[in-house]
Structure 1
Amino acid sequence: MIPIKVAGSDLGKLAGESRSPAATALQYLQPGALNLTALPPLSLYIHFPWCVRKCPYCDFNSHEAKGALPEKEYLDAVRLDLEQSLPMIWGRKIHTIFIGGGTPSLMSAAGLDRLMSDVRTLLPLALDAEITMEANPGTFEAERFKSYRDSGINRLSIGIQSFNGNHLKALGRIHDEAEALRAVEIARSTFDNFNLDLMFALPGQTLDEARRDLQTALSFAPPHLSMYHLTMEPNTVFAKYPPTLPDDDTSADMQDMILEATASAGYQHYEVSAYAQSGRQAKHNLNYWQFGDYLGIGAGAHSKISFPHRVLRQARYKQPGSFIEAAKRGNPVQEEHEIARGDMGFEFMLNALRLTEGFDPNLFGERTGMSISAITKALNEAEGKGLLYRDHKLIKPTELGQRFLNDLQEMFLGS
């Protein structure tokens, strides 16, 4: 946590703004401005936008690789993006890094080494920084992953999704069951810390098949598991041509099975979709859920950056070519806005309510610059409906609240 000084250089004056520090300060101190007494922890997200093939359920900013990737040109643009972002975060330490996509494991070993070198040159990293990279089992090469580790990656997140060949085909994945098993073996022998992504409620999936997927994953004793319910996201192939999915009762049975099996194996269910061995929670994701700050660089990346009297959100250009050209021109940010004071309570609770063990009420004030009284009405209503537990030290969703999390979160809209 970094104490905030109310001085011109600390007011978050962005590169390219024409306001003077005095004028900026005057704007921030108007009625309705926030009052953060300290800045939250800061993470770095780096987006690599290409993949081998777009999966029919995927709504992430990913683009099928056609021909040779413009890796050097893209990494040049990412460095420019980072350099142009430095005035917003000057002097702040990076606690976690996450390289996501797309399929970052399509990056060459030399490219990843160059990327990490650029980051270390431009940013102060915490000595114990968690540095995660996403990987697709269809791209695993043992020697390349050893090179990734040597470049500084200390945590791998593997998109397994299923160990069942038929379900992998239905999901449009580029790997088969054998490649999935091999990927986990390589990860386990190369990295001390890794995560396995699995999905359930897949097209045609039975409860027994979901159980076998989970048992296979647990047999590797991964430090961390992410278990996602397949959803039909807008603007995906599955949304346009929906497959036949398990009914709600079967999906609920799968969820109950997952909770029981992971608990029996010694995993803590600490976030809606996340299960971890003791001390192995994903620090990067925890920072999101605790409404920490993150700088997102690369095509389509999103940022949330706090200043003494405002919180800023940004989004980069999504198309890789457009992002590269915008970075060369000096501003890869396509959209930018401040979070309105009236939306701050909802934005905080949208994230924090995902934590099954809840949060200290003081965290609300630390991260929003507002009093917890701003959401008292919604808290009372949620507590009255049995969706929320709270006392002077803790606010957390009840078991019922976890089951109906969307309904619980929506109660804080406009609070």
Structure 2
Amino acid sequence: MITGEPGFGIYVHWPFCASKCPYCDFNSHVRPNGVDQARFAAGLAKELAHFAARVPGRTVGSIFFGGGTPSLMAPKSVETVLEAIAKHWSIDEGVEITLEANPSSADAANFTAYRAAGVNRLSLGVQALNDRDLKRLGRLHDVAEALDAIALARRTFDRMSFDMIYARPDQTVAEWRDELKAAVDLAADHLSVYQLTIEAETRFEDLWKAGKLVLPDHDLAADLWDATHEVLDAAGLPAYETSNHAAPGAESRHNLVYWRYGEYVGVGAGAHGRLVEKGERRATATEKNPEKWLRLVEAHGHGLVDDEFLTREEQGDEYLLMGLRLTEGIDLDRWEEISGRVLDPARLADLEAHGMVETVREGNRRRVRATASGAAVLDAVVADLAA
């Protein structure tokens, strides 16, 4: 993986889902009676105009429609948003435009129209390749639908990825290896693989507290992690980030904006952003409730509820937290420029001695990256370095 500039991206949040998955703590909402697509699309365009006035002159390298379930968006709504972005900023010739989708037959029916609107990369929320676990995870599709959607996505889009979840109840290492091998054959060049965790205020948390949901213990979860890396490394899909695996050159350009600590505008209910405005880096966040967000946008041009200046120390901590998730690690010289600090040589030497991190040279720059052992306890490594 070749390191590069962080870039500038746009994140568009579509907060609506057909149903709420029991493990999900994202800002997603179910509206059985549907939503006013044209009104919400107009709201997104209006909020984009607000941010364009604040950070003009950028070149957009990536656009990501996340959710929620963006494949519930009408293709016309996607087109409206993309036209608004192109109206306000320059678009890179090789721009990556990703849309997250559920692999149900209803969502897949719009794939061709999304491609015509400008989407060139699809991210499918497959999560499992057996019907038992799909049902447990609250997914609305079955394996047959997932396979059909994957095949259609590969025919329709330039690039495609899908998500898988491991450390599921009753899952064995052998079963997971077989499932991963099947996923590799389907995915082509990118897979996102996440460990199932219990998140606050979810249905799974209620079941877990009641003793009705039992996840693999720490040792089994570690074995599943090891199996993930063994299978995907052997298939030519090494991890370039803690939960993301890709063939060289197939990494998610948009996610690299986050992890390399670039700039990104976040629009839509509950979206976050990081902007450099008048030389200051700012953290933005919008109202989470979709209808309240829309009323704010229509009244004020944006739905912001947080818009804060980040100190150099806060920026340095964020860069550490994000950058050390990458296999390439962080540019140590850039960290010092951002934070205004010098990394404690003693702390760095101690982590190196314990095999948690390593320092490498990239031309005349220095990089610090987590080892495999350090990646398994990344939060502790980051906390030690940031202290």
- Normalising to structure 1: TM-score of the pair? 0.86
Which whole-Å CA distance do the structure 2 matches of 1:280 and 1:411 have between them? 32
Say whether residues 1:407 and 2:373 are aligned partners. no
Query: Is 1:167–1:205's contact at 8 Å kept on the other side of the alignment?
Result: no
Give the corresponding residue for 1:154: 120
- Distance in 2, matches of 1:55 and 1:267, equals 28
Quick one: distance in 2 between partners of 1:329 and 1:313? 22
Correspondence 1:338 to 2:309:
yes
Counterpart CA distance in 2 for 1:403 and 1:202 is 19
Instruction: Kindly state the Cα deviation for residue 381 of structure 1 after the two structures are TM-superposed.
Output: 4.3
Match for 1:273: what amino acid? S
DSSP-derived class of the 1:256 partner: helix
Contact 2:190–2:246 (8 Å) recurs in 1: yes
Q: Please say if 1:135 is aligned against 2:101.
A: yes
TM-aligned CA deviation for residue 384 of structure 1 = 4.2
SS at match of 1:220: helix
Look up the match of 1:281: 251
Deviation, structure 1 residue 251: 1.4
For 2:335, give the aligned amino acid. F
Question: 1:342 & 1:116 partners in 2: Cα distance?
Answer: 35
**Identity over the aligned pairs, expressed in percent?**
35
Partner of 1:75: 41
Per the alignment, in what secondary structure is the counterpart of residue 187 of structure 1? helix
TM-score (norm 2): 0.92
Indicate the SS of the match to 2:163.
Answer: strand
Distance 1:72 1:66 in 2: 17
Which residue number corresponds to residue 320 of structure 1? 290
Structure 2 match to 1:88: 54
Comparing 235-244 with 47-56, which one deviates more in the overlay? 235-244
The residue that corresponds to 2:334 in the other structure is 363
Tell whether the 8 Å contact from 1:43 to 1:97 is kept in structure 2 after alignment. yes
Higher mean alpha-carbon deviation, 176-185 vs 381-390, is at: 381-390
Counterparts in 2 of 1:338 and 1:382: CA distance versus 1, 3 Å: farther
Cα distance in 1 between the residues matched to 2:344 and 2:291: 43
Question: Residues 268 and 140 from structure 1, CA distance in 2 versus in 1: closer, same or farther, beyond 3 angstroms?
Answer: farther
Give the deviation of 1:85 after TM superposition.
1.3
What does residue 92 of structure 2 align with?
126
Which structure ranks higher in relative contact order (CA pairs < 8 Å, sequence separation ≥ 6)?
Answer: 1
- Of 68-77 and 312-321, the range deviating more from structure 2: 68-77
> Corresponding residue for 1:61?
27
Aligned residues: 374
Hey, what's the Cα distance between the residues in 2 that align with 1:407 and 1:300?
28
Counterpart mapping for 1:157-176 below 5 A: 157-176=123-142
Report the Cα distance in structure 1 between the residues aligned to 2:293 and 2:244, rounded to whole angstroms.
Answer: 32
Question: For residues 142 and 343 of structure 1, what CA distance do their matches in structure 2 show?
Answer: 42
The within-5 A match list for 1:12-31 is none
Determine the C-alpha separation between the residues in 1 that align with 2:282 and 2:291: 25
The one of 340, 349, 352 equivalent to 1:383 is 352
For the residues of structure 2 that align with 1:344 and 1:86, how far apart are their CA atoms?
A: 23
Per-residue deviation, 1:234: 1.2
User: Does the aligned pair in 1 maintain the 2:320–2:330 contact within 8 Å?
Assistant: no
Instruction: Name the amino acid aligned to 1:299.
Output: A
Structure 1 moving runs of 4+ over 4 Å = 139-143, 374-378
TM-align CA RMSD: 1.8
Q: How does 1:180-259 map to 2 (within 5 A)?
A: 180-242=146-208, 243-259=213-229
Change (3 A) 1:374 1:408: closer
Query: Whole-Å Cα distance in 1 between the matches of residues 44 and 78 of structure 2?
Result: 12
